[in-house]
């Protein structure tokens, strides 16, 4: 069976809000610090860690190529998870709200260089889909006991395509 | 009076350990996830938030040029502070341990693209010294009430020089 195709659109904070936060230096800064040399966009992520604590880990991923076949979604029911690219590395973000314990309709976004995302606890999302091989991401998520990973196999898979260049790197 | 000159050396986890953590995809990963496609360097920052909570903010800074004159150090006594570059943007890190309420001898490091740092609570450090204009950094630090900023004016200033190219970007 041919998988459904979903077109990735540029990531914006407004479109992403039901799923989480876009972390970027965009719009109006909340304060200016360091003698006027630095803009601070303050406290922009809805972080939750349940009974655990915050940790910072580094992910280094192989790249996927566009179009990209996706067979699995996952979520973290008791903690948020933020992905912060550490180099000029665009990546794909595929998310869905929960509908009775499984992902609702999928939404695909193309995150540009300089854009991080924070998934709310419980948001279904694809595993990390880097578009630059070996790209490193800082991940801020929950460290603690208890099962914080649910997976959902997509019955027929989906194909993520992009309106932008097939190789944005 | 001519300011003292300090040479910035390449940032390494070992040299930086008394001051905090280097956050990078280096050495042996702690686990391999996403079906073998992704290395996870797990929980690499000694985070503390005192009576507050973790937050993610974005800093966007003007660049300094090398050699760079530094007149002020600061520290956060009740929380750690991590800087994670979001693009290919080297930056300077200047740190000191505390000696009776003021910075001890200064140490200068050149952080390469892909290297973040986490300052331990109480570590004296320079304000953000980006070497690429407009570079964005994700900052993981304490959100909460209470005074968490101390500053120390360096009586004669210091001059940070680099053995590397004067414009590493």
Share of chain A above pLDDT 70, in %: 96
Query: How many angstroms separate the CA atoms of B162 and B15, rounded?
Result: 17
Length reported for chain B: 169
Q: What are the pLDDT digits (tens) for A102-136?
A: 999 999 999 999 999 999 999 999 999 999 999 99
Residues of A in contact with B88 (CB under 8 A): 87-88
CA atoms within 13 A of residue B134's CA, in its CB half-sphere: 4
A85 belongs to a structural domain: yes
CA atoms within 13 A of residue B95's CA, in its CB half-sphere: 24
Q: What are the pLDDT digits (tens) for A39-55?
A: 999 999 999 999 999 99
Query: How many angstroms separate the CA atoms of A116 and A95, rounded?
Result: 14
Query: How many angstroms separate the CA atoms of A96 and A105, rounded?
Result: 6
State which residue of chain B sits closest to A41, comparing Cα positions.
Answer: B58
DSSP-based three-state secondary structure for A13: helix
A168 belongs to a structural domain: no
Cβ-proximal residues to A115 (8 Å cutoff; 6+ apart), any chain: A11, A22, A23, A24, A85
Tell me the nearest-neighbour CA distance from B142 into chain A, angstroms: 9
Query: How many angstroms separate the CA atoms of A3 and A158, rounded?
Result: 5
Query: How many angstroms separate the CA atoms of B98 and B95, rounded?
Result: 10
Q: Which residues pair with B34 in a beta bridge?
A: none
A120 belongs to a structural domain: yes
> What is the predicted ipTM?
0.95
State which residue of chain B sits closest to A34, comparing Cα positions.
Answer: B127
A38 belongs to a structural domain: yes
A169 belongs to a structural domain: no
**Cβ(A18)–Cβ(A113) below 8 Å:** no
Q: What are the pLDDT digits (tens) for B60-108?
A: 999 999 999 999 999 999 999 999 999 999 999 999 999 999 999 999 9
Residues of A in contact with B128 (CB under 8 A): 34, 38
B169 belongs to a structural domain: no
Query: How many angstroms separate the CA atoms of B39 and B14, rounded?
Result: 21
Query: How many angstroms separate the CA atoms of A28 and A78, rounded?
Result: 31
Q: What are the pLDDT digits (tens) for B111-127?
A: 999 999 999 999 999 99
Mean pLDDT of B5-15: 97
Structure tokens at B144: 């909460």
Q: Write the residue in A34, A44, A114 that is nearest to B57 by C-beta.
A: A44
B45 belongs to a structural domain: yes
Residue numbers of the domain that contains B14:
4-162
Q: What is the pLDDT of residue A3?
A: 84
Query: How many angstroms separate the CA atoms of B137 and B117, rounded?
Result: 11
Tell me the nearest-neighbour CA distance from B41 into chain A, angstroms: 5
Residues of A in contact with B134 (CB under 8 A): 25
Query: How many angstroms separate the CA atoms of A7 and B10, rounded?
Result: 42
Give me the CATH number covering residue B31: 2.60.120.480
Query: How many angstroms separate the CA atoms of A142 and B134, rounded?
Result: 30
A167 belongs to a structural domain: no
Q: How many domains does chain A have?
A: 1
Residues of A in contact with B35 (CB under 8 A): 127
For residue B5, name the pLDDT band (cuts at 50, 70, 90).
very high
């Amino acid at each position: 069976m041919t998988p459904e195709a979903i077109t990735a659109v540029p990531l914006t904070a407004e479109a992403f809000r039901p799923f989480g936060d876009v972390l970027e230096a965009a719009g109006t800064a909340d304060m200016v610090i360091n003698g006027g040399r630095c803009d601070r966009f303050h406290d922009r992520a809805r972080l939750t860690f349940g009974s655990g604590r915050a940790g910072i880990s580094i992910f280094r991923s192989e790249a996927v190529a566009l179009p990209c076949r996706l067979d699995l979604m996952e979520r973290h029911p008791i903690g948020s998870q933020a992905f912060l690219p550490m180099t000029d590395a665009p990546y794909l973000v595929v998310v869905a709200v929960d509908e009775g314990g499984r992902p609702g309709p999928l939404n695909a976004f193309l995150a540009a260089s300089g854009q991080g995302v924070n998934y709310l606890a419980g948001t279904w999302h694809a595993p990390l889909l880097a578009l630059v091989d070996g790209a490193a991401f800082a991940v801020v998520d929950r460290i603690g006991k208890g099962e914080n990973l649910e997976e959902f196999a997509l019955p027929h898979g989906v194909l993520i395509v992009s309106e932008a260049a097939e190789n944005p790197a």
